[in-house]
Chain A
Amino acid sequence: MAIPDSTHQVIGWDWDSIPGLPATHYLDNRIYTDPSLFQEEVGRIFKAQWKFACHESEVASPGCYRVIEVADTSVAVIRGADGALRAFLNVCPHRGAQLLRDVQGQLKGDRLSCFYHHWTFTAAGRCTTIPLPHAYVHDAIQADNVHLREVHLETTLGLVFINLSERPGQTLREFLGTALDQIAQPLTDLEVFHYHRVTVRANWKLFVETNCEGYHELLHLLNRTTALSQPSYLKRKWLLHPNGHHTFQPASIAYSKLKLGDRDSGTLPGMTPNMHVVVDLFPDVMVNARSTVIRVDSLIPIAPGLTILECRGLAPKSDTPEQRRLRIKQHNQVWGPLGRNLPEDIWAIETQWTNMRPRVFRHSLIAREDDDQATDDSPVRSFYAKWQELMGVKPSDIGLTENQSISESEYGR
């Protein structure tokens, strides 16, 4: 441990003390770095709550499938011959091989067959064929009783959600409540036209936070110019819903201030020209509507400091080619893989992560209070209230574990 020299003085913030704030207004930064807590999050949050999987248009017709990941678990979403959507663990019950190895595709004849030993199943998950069955002398292993492991699936407004728990504590409707009401109209009759992934070297919650605190708009030239520059913008309200969801209420964005062109044609149903609305769904989804186009971001947590960000762009199915081209341009301006904002968000949270690991920065502040207006931290606090309910620990103090003790002795205070 380094010994401060005699002239060293602590100025300003006392970095080593717990902030003199209500416990709801700061975070113990070990919530981002602790490996065992991360595994708990995967089990208690990602695998036990309703989790956005994909959009219905990605599995539009019978036989279509889409393979998605819920943390470390591969799940196949399949539209059966009967038109129904179902989800299964993407695992053959025989020896555990992946049943579907492409991220999307079309089943042949409503059947999926494991490439390893050719066990075959219907799109409804029932086993139809076990090759050379005579050698299975035990009754337990017959085509009649070795089926796929089905996962709970529900849809709303074209969004497909799954729940990996055996008995979800809530229906999807109960879980979401009224959180999507504000964008129910614009979400109608859409299809996915854009998908890309970003590997983010940071904890998943840091990305969630940047989506649910308007204060960070100062980071973005685009937002400073087109949003914060308007005097009324700071009065924009957050609406907090039960279960950690929030809505960033409508505001008008001045795109022309950055020569990006007004969004005054092709406005989605229920929206007005240049309108912007954001809905954050616990734990990891941001539905972002910018007048003419919708973006859905979701997360795959891989490790405490590694997250896959999935980005989808949605537009009306009824678009003409000209309309679609314009929407794609507008989508890409902000959120594209080479959009103006996305790289800035990623860089910001990756620098945060760099400073979380060595434990030199112990507490993060979520202490802004401004009547739930634009830069209030109340949505972040709402997120962590739900997080605490599910995790059973306070985000302001997760307690000491062996790993943290080692970490502290390595880095000193």
Chain B
Amino acid sequence: MDAEVRVNITERLLASGRYLDQGDFEAYLSLFDDDGEYLIVADVPEIAGHATWMDLTKAELQGLLESASRHMWNSGVRTHHIAAPCFTRTDNAIETVAAVSVFRTCSKGSTTVYAVGQYHDWWVLQGEAWLLKRRRLQLATRDLTPPSALPL
């Protein structure tokens, strides 16, 4: 895998967090392939297994983000911190795994860690752009306080 591909995907990975933080949902959605998927999963000891907390097609993700401004979610200001990814090449895609922390700043200005986890991303080359075929956020945090319906 050449360095240019690594740089390109890393930049898009970092942009995914930045676009969410900025509320630039159109740019965020443009990172996904047309049949891209977005998932959030968590290990849940209470049910001795894992649970899916979000499982959206790109169209469903778009519907959620388009209606976000009409909802009343106390999301605060969010800042994604995404660590340098590990790369794995498969036949049709490149898989990256990157730790992610999301900080939340409330209206009074204090900041707390809101959620931590790992992005497991599958990137495919469409034309000249690497696009997300699938993003699976494996959350370590299970109590998202205060909750919000915005993707992480």
Do the beta carbons of B151 and A58 come within 8 Å of each other?
Answer: no
Asked if A350 CB lies within 8 Å of chain B CBs, one says yes
Do the beta carbons of A221 and B149 come within 8 Å of each other?
Answer: no
Residues 37-60 of B, flagged 1 when their CB comes within 8 A of A and 0 if not, give 000101011111001111110000
C-alpha spacing A344/B73, complex, angstroms = 6
Chain B neighbourhood of A193, CB < 8 A: 47, 51
C-alpha spacing A294/B46, complex, angstroms = 18
C-alpha spacing A332/B55, complex, angstroms = 8
Q: Considering only CB atoms, which chain B residue lies closest to A66 in the complex?
A: B46
Chain A neighbourhood of B55, CB < 8 A: 325, 328-329, 332
Do the beta carbons of A340 and B149 come within 8 Å of each other?
Answer: yes
Chain A neighbourhood of B64, CB < 8 A: 340
Q: Considering only CB atoms, which chain A residue lies closest to B63 in the complex?
A: A259
C-alpha spacing A326/B43, complex, angstroms = 19
Residues 44-82 of A, flagged 1 when their CB comes within 8 A of B and 0 if not, give 000000000000001000000010000000000000000
Asked if A115 CB lies within 8 Å of chain B CBs, one says no
C-alpha spacing A69/B67, complex, angstroms = 37
Chain A neighbourhood of B149, CB < 8 A: 338-340, 343
Output the least CB separation between B117 and chain A (Å).
12
Given known contacts A337-B53, A338-B40, A344 and B72 CB-to-CB distance under 8 angstroms: yes
Asked if A283 CB lies within 8 Å of chain B CBs, one says no
Binding stretch for chain A, among B82-90, B125-133, B138-146: B138-146
Do the beta carbons of A192 and B47 come within 8 Å of each other?
Answer: yes
Partner of A338, one of B45, B67, B74, B150: B150
Asked if A1 CB lies within 8 Å of chain B CBs, one says no
C-alpha spacing A16/B93, complex, angstroms = 67
Do the beta carbons of A338 and B144 come within 8 Å of each other?
Answer: yes
Given known contacts A196-B53, A332-B55, A338 and B46 CB-to-CB distance under 8 angstroms: no
Chain A neighbourhood of B70, CB < 8 A: 221
Do the beta carbons of A347 and B46 come within 8 Å of each other?
Answer: no
User: Using a Cβ cutoff of 8 Å, how many contacts connect chains A and B?
Assistant: 97
Do the beta carbons of A197 and B142 come within 8 Å of each other?
Answer: yes
C-alpha spacing A17/B138, complex, angstroms = 53
C-alpha spacing A193/B41, complex, angstroms = 13
Do the beta carbons of A332 and B147 come within 8 Å of each other?
Answer: no
Output the least CB separation between B126 and chain A (Å).
25
Asked if A104 CB lies within 8 Å of chain B CBs, one says yes
Residues of A78-134 whose CB lies within 8 A of B = 102-105
Q: Considering only CB atoms, which chain A residue lies closest to B151 in the complex?
A: A338
Asked if A342 CB lies within 8 Å of chain B CBs, one says yes
C-alpha spacing A339/B67, complex, angstroms = 13
Output the least CB separation between A309 and chain B (Å).
10
Output the least CB separation between A2 and chain B (Å).
23
Do the beta carbons of B145 and A195 come within 8 Å of each other?
Answer: no
Do the beta carbons of B72 and A350 come within 8 Å of each other?
Answer: no
Output the least CB separation between A385 and chain B (Å).
31
Given known contacts A195-B46, A347-B74, A332 and B52 CB-to-CB distance under 8 angstroms: yes
Residues 330-348 of A, flagged 1 when their CB comes within 8 A of B and 0 if not, give 0010001111101110111
Q: Considering only CB atoms, which chain B residue lies closest to A339 in the complex?
A: B149
Do the beta carbons of B143 and A198 come within 8 Å of each other?
Answer: yes
Asked if B30 CB lies within 8 Å of chain A CBs, one says no
Q: Considering only CB atoms, which chain A residue lies closest to B147 in the complex?
A: A343
Given known contacts A329-B55, A332-B55, A336-B54, A104 and B46 CB-to-CB distance under 8 angstroms: yes
Known contacts A258-B67, A343-B146, A344-B71; 9 additional CB pairs below 8 A are A102-B45, A104-B48, A105-B48, A195-B51, A196-B143, A221-B67, A258-B63, A325-B52, A336-B53
